[in-house]
Amino acid sequence: MPTRVNFTGSISSVSTVFTFLQLTFVCLMLIISADLNAKTIKIGLRAHFGVEKSMQQWKKTADYLSEKIPGHKFVMVPLVGLPELMSEAEKGYFDFVLTNPSSYVEMELGLGASAILTLRNKRQGKAYTNFGSVIFTRKNNSEINLISDLKGKKIVAVAKAAFGGWRVALREMLSEGFDPYTQAKHVSFSGGIQQDVVNIVRLGNADAGVVRTDMLERMAAAGQIKLDEFKIINAKNIKNFPFLLSTELYPEWPFIKMKHASTELSTKVALALLTMPAEHPAAITGKYIGWTVPEDYRPVHSLMQQLKVRPYEHYKEHPLEHFFEDYLIHTIVAVVVLISFTFLMFYIFAINRQLVATKYEQDKLMQELEERVIERTYDLNEAKQFAEKANEAKTQFLSNMSHEFRTPMNAILGFAQLLKYDVANKDLELAEDNVNEILYAGRHLLELVNEVLDLAKIETGKYEINLQPITLAREINDVLSLLKVLAEKNEITINTKFDESDETVISADLRSLRQSLINIITNAIKYNHVKGEINITMDSLNDGYCRVNISDSGDGIAEDALAKIFEPFERVTNRTDIEGTGVGLSITKVLVEIMGGKISVESVLGKGSVFSLYFKLADENQKQNTIQ
Ligand code: ADP
């Protein structure tokens, strides 16, 4: 099982004390050297060669800036550990920082820092703005030739967070399919400076090591090592990059402006550094040629994203791919809420529709009910009025009938008493007269009773009729021959204004037709004058009716009495000598109407009356069975 040793953890408390001492030392330096009127500008520095060497390397650059930008005293604040550098940066201790690219990315994303320049590093007398990592082993280690040979081997680097010193190499190893953290025997971090890593490998305490490019060449130039002692793993040749290399190249260290540093000062700093001559003592001791505009640091971001190191420890390469994984509960809750809400909406919508439909039905029913109530109320009112009228008519009828019956009854009783008296006096002549009066009154009474019975029969629906085709002219002539004696007795001339053989056929009940004609013609004779005249006409009308007009030259009827004559027992004549019951016309009216016809009258008082009877003409089928 491969194991991993982390030196960083073991020296963390020592490192904190060490950082404190460094800062105290720098502050003392600041106090001693500071121009009391000048504003101190602190440049944080990643001291990967150690504090002393780094100060030697960069102090002149700070002095150069102090000289170029009056009123400001620039001082370098070197810190060996990247976590300490980051921690002080977070506290806002620095105005500018000079550090490796991954440390810069952390400050850019976490603290809003920005690169204002990139270092043009001097290597072998030339300027380079790129660097990478070197993975190496001892020359005589025949077991390790490729990255994959590192499986089960001990690997050493300076710090887990070192950029060129570890992360660039780590990315290369991963892209070659080798994960040192799981496949190496162990990975250790020396802490301190990168030269230590080279020495650890050289002495055989680790099988392979990682340093930034150019480190081996520098140590060789300084006589600390010989290059032929080492073998480079995954060696790469990149044009115009003459150093030993195992990985891709990344932009050199940036000069970083912290968020709170003013733009004006930052511009001055950038300008001063950009215009620094290559032969300036600051450049020479700083081992660089100069500075250039910031390089593209996106490859550094991409590396850190791939390695998932701070500030990209939670970075998702395909955020959506992990979305449901990360937000599974939230997604389920959201979907459930959404579905519930949708169902609720549909449910409310359906209920609403149902309610609207129910309300519509209710309104409709209410409206129908109201209409029915209005109709019923109207019908009831009509019925009530009709009943009241019928009741009135009945009362009137009874009162008229009693009167009509009382008259002949009184006559009978009166003449019977006289008869008794005549019999006692043995006056037979008078007795006969009185008997005749009794007979006359009795016959009248009988006639009354018959007519009332007829009327009652008709009104109770017990009067049966049989509609049949009847040749009207023939019927009228038959009735006239019956009434001939009465007409002659009253010296009345009857003129028929139609052809005797007229073949107009009507639909009627024979008995009712005869009864109606007899009643009307009898009245025309009765209420006429001696030597009076009656004219009878017959016309077929276009509306399917045949009209029979019976006009007389008699008394006529007063206009206000015309409406009454069709009511039972209504006699409107002043002439007491004319016999009658007052029921004939009312019976006639009902009979004519039962047969589907009608009756009307026009009259002028003193000149005569015209009664019109309308009968339905028979249709062709009925005509076949005409009564001849
Ligand atoms: P009545 O038995 O009295 O004739 P009707 O019912 O036949 O009864 O007629 C009702 C009343 O109408 C008569 O009493 C009479 O006053 C009047 N009347 C009917 N026909 C004529 C007519 N042709 N001329 C004048 N009055 C008439």
Task: Residue 624: count other Cβ atoms within 10 Å of its Cβ.
Answer: 9
517 CA to centre of ligand 1 in angstroms: 14
* Residues in contact with 551: Cβ distance below 8 Å, sequence separation at least 6, in sequence order: 524, 534, 535, 536, 608, 609, 610, 611
Contact criterion met (CB below 8 Å) for 99 and 117: no
For ligand 1, atom 19, the nearest C-alpha belongs to 523
Sequential DSSP letters for 129-141: -EE-EEEEEETT-
Closest C-alpha among 568, 493, 505 to residue 540: 505
Nearest atom within ligand 1 for CA of residue 582: 8
Pairing of strands 608-616, 545-552: antiparallel
Which mean pLDDT values do the consecutive 10-residue runs of the chain (628 residues) have?
36 50 55 66 92 94 96 95 94 96 94 96 89 96 96 95 94 96 96 92 96 94 95 94 95 96 96 95 95 95 92 75 72 90 93 93 93 90 85 76 82 90 89 90 87 80 88 95 93 96 94 95 96 97 96 95 89 86 91 95 96 94 67
Residue 250's pLDDT is: 96
526 CA to centre of ligand 1 in angstroms: 8
Residue 406's pLDDT is: 83
Sequential DSSP letters for 171-229: HHHHHTT--HHHHSSEEEE--S-HHHHHHHHHTTSSSEEEEETTHHHHHHHTTS--GGG
| Tokens read off for 350 | 């359906």
The C-alpha atoms of residue 72 and residue 316 are separated, in whole angstroms, by 44
390 CA to centre of ligand 1 in angstroms: 23
Q: Is the pTM higher than 0.75? A: no
Q: Is 528 in the pocket of ligand 1 (CB under 6 A)?
A: no
* Residues in contact with 400: Cβ distance below 8 Å, sequence separation at least 6, in sequence order: 568, 569, 570, 582
Q: 7, exposed or middle or buried, with CB in 10 Å at 0-12, 13-18, 19+? A: middle
Closest C-alpha among 551, 517, 558, 526 to residue 537: 551
572 CA to centre of ligand 1 in angstroms: 7
Q: Is 208 in the pocket of ligand 1 (CB under 6 A)?
A: no
Q: Is 219 in the pocket of ligand 1 (CB under 6 A)?
A: no
Q: Is 404 in the pocket of ligand 1 (CB under 6 A)?
A: no
Pairing of strands 250-251, 96-98: unpaired
Q: Is 451 in the pocket of ligand 1 (CB under 6 A)?
A: no
Nearest atom within ligand 1 for CA of residue 573: 16
